[in-house]
Amino acid sequence: MCGISGFVDFSGSSTREHLSAMSDSLIHRGPDDKGCEFFTISNATIGLGFRRLAILDLSPAGHQPMSLETNKTWIVFNGEIYNFKELRQELKSLGHHFTSHSDTEVILHAYQQWGKKCVDRFLGMFAFCIYDKEHQTLFLARDRAGVKPLFYYWKDGLFLFASELKAFHQHPQFTKSLDVDALSLYFQFGYIPAPYSIFQNCFKLLPGHTLEFNIIDSIIRVDTYWDAVDAYNAGKIDIGIEDAITETESLFTSAFNYRMIADVPVGVFLSGGYDSSCVAALLQKNSASKVKTFTIGFEEAAFNEADHARKVANYLGTDHYEYICTYREAMDIVPLLPESYDEPFGDSSAIPTTLVSQFARKHVTVALSADAGDELFAGYPRHRKNTDYLRKLSLIPSIASKLASSMLPNRSKSLVHANRLDKLREVLKVSDPVSRFKIINQVYTYRETCSLLKGVIKSLKTVFEEGDKLSSINDDLSCILLTEYKSYLVDDILQKVDRATMSASLEGREPFLDHRILEWVAKLPSSFKMNANEQKVLLKAIVHRHIPESIMKRPKMGFGIPVVSWMRNDLRPMFDDVLSDRSIRSIEVLDYSQVAAMRDAYLQGRLENFERLWFVFSFVLWYRRWMVAN
């Protein structure tokens, strides 16, 4: 796991010092080594910057930026190619010669052999940039699921790319102008969905996409090489539940074992829930030594999963590490969040994720996280609730639904209370399940963000507006799971884990996000995921093969902390400062009266949804760090 950055500057004013500063801003992603390469050509200067967290081939032969002997192609690479040994052997049979044992060199040879199509052969998590000197192009790629982040910026003859936005701030020509339309998306969802970012002219490369920047004519071309939609649109297969369980477990075993490949110690985050227990159980079953597992807990029972995790670890016989955090330790993370999450981010579970990453880093350099189990197998409570809503709405004729929508009053109201009438009107106006799922689950509706941000906001197209691509999917649950996989999972969960682990210089790996799993699970009947009585049906069946059901049966818990009470008590001074009248008024895009009303209602115990205020609090905290202090 590493941090990459670089530029193409047609003004020629970028320097080695600028490149070094960009790279150094990512030192937390790679404290073990640093590399910078600077090129001057007839019409531009080009820089490639790198910070290394050594995981594979710990020798200097793994240094980046890396080039083959001809020096015609150079690469900076963040991530892991898990099948690099197989690809290495194939490339050797085709006449390629290797000087290291790193997966980075395999990427370069694969690009030399197969060109841009090399990404089709990679099994892993990755974000990389290859500078092709012969063709004068930059070739950027992001893995299929979006485990690894990759940002880019293009304005006034300057192209920048980096693992995190903070690197851009180190370049003097970077213009940090707020994209208010993208900010509206943040308030709707708690994150800014790709391809957008908080700044104008700045974007996230979408998962499963490549970008080619032609330096000769300054043309950017973005292409899709993989899309989860295709797997779901392929239709369902006819298979029995027992055969599906056996086949899925075999695929899990392959994916999980791949993610144990490393030349440094590896561990597993274990909450005691089904997803992480599945990872720990299958790894321990196939390991000759004890798997290291890590859990943090809290003193308050409602937020403490440590007891559950300990029971699972004891049964499996893992080498288990447990740490009970004080709330003071958790609270001390809050003011540091904008440094790690360098665009507005509203998921408060970033706090415990950061804590468990810091704890695990004392013992291992790589940790496996069990994210995506819910998105693959319908594990969230909202999956059942929303499919019920969508089924009932589908019974209403389209003409009647739109007529009812037009007849509902169009009243603006205070943001202290969610405008349920506004949601109902918007839900009735649309007919496809993806659009309805979006509206039902928004924290602020689009109209409410216009009130919060003082004006009419341009409505940006996201995954939620791609319902037309799902025409062959005939069940609402599949539409919901696919949408979650391409939205919430990518831009909330994976961003959260990447920034939290990297803030502790810990490599986070995602075994459920092997693309082969998605391609397989998408074909399974939806009843294998959720039926009338159970959610995560198939996943639970696999876990029960290895851990008694009596140990696993418990209510689902989120990975959270009690920020609602903290802000009234221990963190009250910080709350009062961040959301003071002066602070709110200083941010011109926010409507002072709306924010002040929510703040005062919360302090008086009248705010019905604290998440709405937490999103504002997190945004103001971010704004003060990156728009004022920088």
Cite the active site residues. 2
Residue 211 backbone phi and psi in degrees, to 5:
-130, 130
Instruction: Taking the CA atoms of 489, 491, 494 and 500 in sequence, report the sign of the dihedral they define.
Output: negative
Q: How far is Cα 468 from Cα 1, in angstroms, rounded to an integer?
A: 37
- Pairing between β-strand 266-269 and β-strand 366-368 as defined by DSSP bridges: parallel
CB contact at 8 A, 215 and 41: yes
Element (H, E) at 202: strand 202-204
Q: Which residues pair with 6 in a beta bridge?
A: 48, 161
**Alpha-carbon span 401 to 309, nearest angstrom:** 47
Pairing of strands 151-155, 137-142: unpaired
Per the listing, tokens 């710990």 go with 58
581 CB-contact burial (10 Å; exposed 0-12 / middle 13-18 / buried 19+) = exposed
CA 502-176-591 angle, to 5 degrees, is 100
Q: Are 182 and 196 in contact (CB under 8 A)?
A: yes
Return the sign of the alpha-carbon dihedral for residues 606, 610, 613, 614. Answer: positive
- Distances in Å between the Cα of 237 and the Cα atoms of 194, 243, 528 are 31, 12, 12
Cα 166 from Cα 160, distance rounded (Å)? 12
Distance CA 81, CA 293 (A): 23
In this structure, are residues 144 and 150 in contact, taking their beta carbons and an 8 Å threshold? Answer: no
Q: Which residue has the tokens 């390991």?
A: 287
Residue 131's CB: how many other CB atoms inside 10 A? 25
Q: Quick one: tokens of 392? A: 């009932």
Pull the structure tokens for residue 196: 């957008």
Question: Residue 63 corresponds to which amino acid?
Answer: H
CB 380 within 8 A of CB 440: no
626 DSSP assignment: I
Question: CB–CB of 53/32 below 8 Å?
Answer: yes
**Terminal Cα distance for the chain, rounded:** 27
Instruction: Report the DSSP beta bridge partners of residue 130.
Output: 75, 139
Residue 596: how many other CB atoms lie within 10 Å? 16
Phi/psi of residue 335, nearest 5 degrees: -70, -15
